[in-house]
Amino acid sequence: MPINITMPALSPTMEEGTLAKWLVKEGDTVKSGMIIAEIETDKATMEVEAVDEGKVGKLVVPAGTEGVKVNAVIAVLLEEGESAGDVKALAAAPAKAEPAAAPKAATSVPAPSPTLVTPAKAGAQTSVAVMERPGGVRIMASPLARRIAANKGIDLKALKGSGPHGRIIRRDVENAKPGAAQPAPGGAPMTADGLILPQILDDRVYAPDTYDLKPLDGMRKTVAKRLTQSFMQVPHFPLNIDIQLDNLLESRAAINAAAPKDVKISVNDLLIKAAALALIDEPDCNASYTDKGIAYHRHANISVAVAVEGGLITPVIFKAEGKGLAEISEEMKDLANRARERKLKPQEYMGGTFSISNLGMFGVRSFASIINPPEGMILSVGAGEKRAVVDEAGAIVARTVMSVTLTCDHRVIGGAEGAKWLAAFKRYVETPEAMLL
């Protein structure tokens, strides 16, 4: 029996991916563990390993195919003694992604519809004349629009009709992507899950020859979706504080002077450590708002925002509170490098409890990041710069100061908790020796 190779789910959020590249061709022999393909998911480019042994009978999904649903058959492997003829039986099975989504639209139909057709022949399809919105409002859509929507797995609720009296007609569904909505005049277009869609590209606004269009890849889409969701759904507030860096810089110089040659601790490494310790000191702040309750995390898993070409990714330093600076430094370098190559594994960029985003190296003085859900807080780190400071004695002195902004999810973190965390963080940064305790 030939073996189906299916689209693997490479992360819990992955619903579909792009089959970027085949590393084998039909007729190749593969062994278990061999890398056979590269898949671009919503976050990264991943390698797919063969689980079974055999000969590649057929590559069902060609390289470069976008939107391949998880579990769709992407290739067929022949076992010993099998021929290409055996492939046919299997390949006839589900290869394309769309039928899987088809039943979606039908699930919102109330009760068995009296207008369902019972065809004598299997050829005829059913049609549903009336679909109800949850509120009981009838969705006006042409029968053909309904059929096409069902075929493509498009939720009519998400569409706005351009026909007479706002009726949804063929053209409204024909261009819509499954789960997406059609641009509509007036009113912000919304997706089925209530997210506002990106701006519609309109020739009347930007003439077609005045820009270069780069298609959205998986990462760009995910970043856009998650940040939109976060910014709109998380009640967030910022807290600012100035922190003097002179002690930290001195300590860093001393540490690096004493460290083995290949170890070089960055300011950022120190800030990761300080943030982790502050989270352990203020456990109320190491929290996530979830549907089941507030999750108070036992460890400080620090996500660090890394800009990569085409987006942004946040690899995680797990249990940073217990790690030494050298360890943090080394891990960070490795994660950042692999992030830029889009080679991170999902478990390396998921599971953070707190994020740090640092734009200090660009000279940014102060900014407020968008929360990285389900984390409760994100720290935005500005540039360390010489500023005039009034010291304890009342004298104006030059000190290296950085401004940081803590953006908090108000559902889990109050102003006072956030402030206490900032105070703790400030203490660690201004008195780095405390990190040794």
Partner 1 sequence: MSTPYDLIVIGSGPGGYVAAIRASQLGMKTAIVERESLGGICLNWGCIPTKALLRSAEVLHLAKQAKSFGLKIENPSFDLEAVVKRSRGVASQLSNGVTFLMKKNKIDVIEGTARLEKGAPAPKVIVKGKDGKDTPYTAKHVMLATGARARDIPQAGLVADGKLVWTYREAMTPDVMPKRLLVVGSGAIGIEFASFYNELGADVTVVEVMDRILPVEDAEISAFAEKDFRKQGLNILTGAKVENVKAGKNVVTADITTKDGKKETKEFDRAILAVGIVGNVENLGLEALGVKIEKTHVIVDGFGRTGVPGLYAIGDLTGPPWLAHKASHEGVTCVEGIAGKNHAEPFDASNIPGCTYSHPQVASVGLTEAAAKAKGYDIKVGRFPFIGNGKAIALGAENGLVKTIFDKKTGELLGAHMIGAEVTELIQGYVIARQGELTEADLLHTVFAHPTLSETMHEAVLDAEGRALHI
- How far is the CA of 239 from the CAs of 319, 376, 406, in angstroms? 25, 13, 5
Would you say 145 or 422 has its CB closer to partner 1? 145
Would you say 6 or 142 has its CB closer to partner 1? 142
* Contact pick of 29, 32, 125, 337 for partner 1 (by CB under 8 A): 125
Tokens of 129: 């004349």
* Contact pick of 25, 31, 121, 204 for partner 1 (by CB under 8 A): 121
CB 407 within 8 Å of CB 237: yes
CB of 130 to partner 1, least distance (A): 12
Return the amino acid letter for 112: P
Strands (E), 265-304: 287-289, 294-296, 302-304
CB of 142 to partner 1, least distance (A): 3
Would you say 148 or 278 has its CB closer to partner 1? 148
* Contact pick of 13, 65, 113, 126 for partner 1 (by CB under 8 A): 126
Would you say 117 or 232 has its CB closer to partner 1? 117
Q: Does 143 bind partner 1 (CB under 8 A)?
A: yes
Count of residues interacting with partner 1 (CB under 8 A)? 21
CB 320 within 8 Å of CB 276: yes
* Contact pick of 33, 134, 164, 260 for partner 1 (by CB under 8 A): 164
Terminal alpha carbon distance of the chain? 62
Using DSSP, state whether 313 is helix, strand or coil.
strand
* Contact pick of 93, 117, 196, 253 for partner 1 (by CB under 8 A): 117
Would you say 115 or 290 has its CB closer to partner 1? 115
The one segment of 103-111, 123-131, 213-221, 389-397 that binds partner 1 by CB under 8 A: 123-131
Which residue is it, tokens 């005049």?
A: 185
Q: Does 95 bind partner 1 (CB under 8 A)?
A: no
Q: Does 253 bind partner 1 (CB under 8 A)?
A: no
Among residues 350, 345, 352, 339, which one has the least CA distance to residue 312? 339
Q: Does 169 bind partner 1 (CB under 8 A)?
A: yes
* Contact pick of 113, 142, 191, 229 for partner 1 (by CB under 8 A): 142
The one segment of 162-170, 253-261, 401-409, 416-424 that binds partner 1 by CB under 8 A: 162-170
For 123, residues 6+ apart whose C-beta sits below 8 A from its C-beta are none
CB 223 within 8 Å of CB 342: no
The one segment of 59-67, 96-104, 112-120, 245-253 that binds partner 1 by CB under 8 A: 112-120
Strand partners, 240: 405
Q: What is the dihedral of CA 420, 422, 428, 434, to 10 degrees?
A: 10
β-strands 306-308, 302-304 pairing = unpaired
Instruction: Provide the 10 A C-beta neighbour count for residue 383.
Output: 17
The one segment of 61-69, 137-145, 348-356, 384-392 that binds partner 1 by CB under 8 A: 137-145
- How far is the CA of 25 from the CAs of 29, 57, 68, 123, in angstroms? 9, 9, 19, 37
Spatial separation of the C-alpha atoms in residues 225 and 229, rounded to whole Å: 6
Q: Does 208 bind partner 1 (CB under 8 A)?
A: no
- How far is the CA of 1 from the CAs of 4, 28, 76, 84, 259, in angstroms? 9, 18, 10, 11, 59
410 among known catalytic residues: yes
Residue positions annotated with a catalytic role = 410
Interface positions with partner 1 (CB under 8 A): 115, 117, 119-121, 123-127, 129, 142-145, 147-148, 151, 164, 169-170
